[in-house]
């Protein structure tokens, strides 16, 4: 299957700092990438959908100025958590869908963020 | 929008038994139904999917059935093994949309 990588896998930061998470599709071109947040023992909560070269579409309740998403190429999307606070601590997972159709999503391994 | 309900939230079985997880969806335009397995702290992995023009699909010990009229679909795992223990998510995606709606997940525990 298609491979999606995510970096870093773990990050611990101080409150007030910004954290950038990268999501890469390694062996396919991804027109669309998705960013999810997952709290312990809960489902995947879609935060935003990003299409290469255009602005991300955020889900209701997700602050676009706090969670900055950039999808500059067909293989890379980044999520920046700005001025992180302890309540932003969570498991962030990206997924990517191939170009050219309504293809299956493939998930990255996730990034566990802990804000102190 | 689409609403996906998943049951049960927790399922405990003995090794060798079968496990069934059920999902219902609300949007009759949904036409793609993937199932994901997520082990603790890891990424969701696609295990099987079905499209609306098919009623059943099987892959070794895993099968998925779809009833479009009733708008429900189910995951069947036969001869369960301890390594099947994980959280399973169903999802439904409408035609023309990239965005699937996920169920809340089912924690499957297979006791040796």
> B69 versus A103: which is more confidently predicted?
B69
Q: Give the pLDDT score at B100.
A: 86
Report the percent of chain B where pLDDT is more than 90: 79
B49 vs A42: CB contact, 8 Å cut-off? no
B89: closest chain A residue by CA? A43
Q: Are A6 and A109 in contact (CB under 8 A)?
A: yes
Q: Measured between beta carbons, which residues in chain B are less than 8 angstroms from residue A43?
A: 89, 102-105
Q: Residue B58 forms beta bridges with which residues?
A: B63
Q: Give the pLDDT score at A54.
A: 83
E runs forming strands in chain A: 4-7, 10-13, 19-25, 30-38, 45-51, 57-58, 67-73, 76-81, 90-98, 105-107, 111-115
Q: DSSP letter at B9?
A: S
The two structure tokens encoding residue A5? 């990588």
User: pLDDT tens track of chain A, all 116 residues?
Assistant: 678 999 999 999 999 999 999 999 998 888 889 999 998 888 889 999 988 888 899 999 999 999 999 988 889 999 999 999 999 999 999 999 876 545 678 899 999 999 99
Q: Are A30 and A52 in contact (CB under 8 A)?
A: yes
Residue B95 has pLDDT above 90, yes or no: no
Q: What angle do CA A100, A67, A88 make, to 5 degrees?
A: 125
Q: Measured between beta carbons, which residues in chain B are less than 8 angstroms from residue A97?
A: 98
B98 vs A46: CB contact, 8 Å cut-off? no
Residue B96 has pLDDT above 70, yes or no: no
Q: Give the pLDDT score at A97.
A: 84
The A-side interface with B (CB below 8 A) comprises: 1, 4, 32, 34, 41-44, 46, 49, 91, 93, 97, 102, 104-110, 112
In angstroms, the CA B35 to CA B49 distance is 6
Q: Give the pLDDT score at B13.
A: 97
CA distance A112 to chain B (A): 9
Q: Give the pLDDT score at A31.
A: 83
SS3 B15: coil
Q: DSSP letter at A103?
A: P
């Amino acid at each position: 299957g298609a491979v999606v990588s995510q970096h870093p896998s773990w990050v611990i930061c101080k409150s007030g700092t910004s954290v950038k998470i990268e999501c890469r599709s390694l062996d396919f071109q991804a027109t669309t990438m998705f960013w999810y947040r997952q709290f312990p023992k809960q489902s995947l909560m879609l935060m935003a959908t990003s299409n290469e070269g255009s602005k991300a579409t955020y889900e209701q309740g997700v602050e676009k100025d706090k969670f900055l998403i950039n999808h500059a190429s067909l293989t890379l999307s980044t999520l920046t958590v700005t001025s992180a606070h302890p309540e932003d601590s969570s498991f962030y997972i990206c997924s990517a869908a191939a170009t050219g159709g309504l293809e299956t999503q493939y998930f990255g391994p996730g990034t566990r963020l802990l804000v102190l | 929008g689409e609403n996906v309900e998943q049951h049960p939230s927790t399922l405990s079985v003995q090794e060798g038994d079968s496990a069934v997880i059920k999902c219902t969806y609300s949007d009759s335009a949904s036409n793609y139904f993937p199932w994901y397995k997520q082990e603790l702290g890891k990424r969701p992995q696609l295990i099987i999917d079905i499209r609306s023009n098919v009623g059943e699909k099987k892959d070794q010990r895993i099968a998925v059935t779809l009833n479009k009229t009733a708008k429900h679909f189910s995951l069947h795992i036969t001869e369960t093994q301890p390594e099947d223990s994980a959280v399973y998510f169903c999802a439904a995606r409408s035609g023309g949309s990239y965005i699937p709606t996920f169920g809340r997940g089912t924690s499957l525990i297979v006791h040796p």
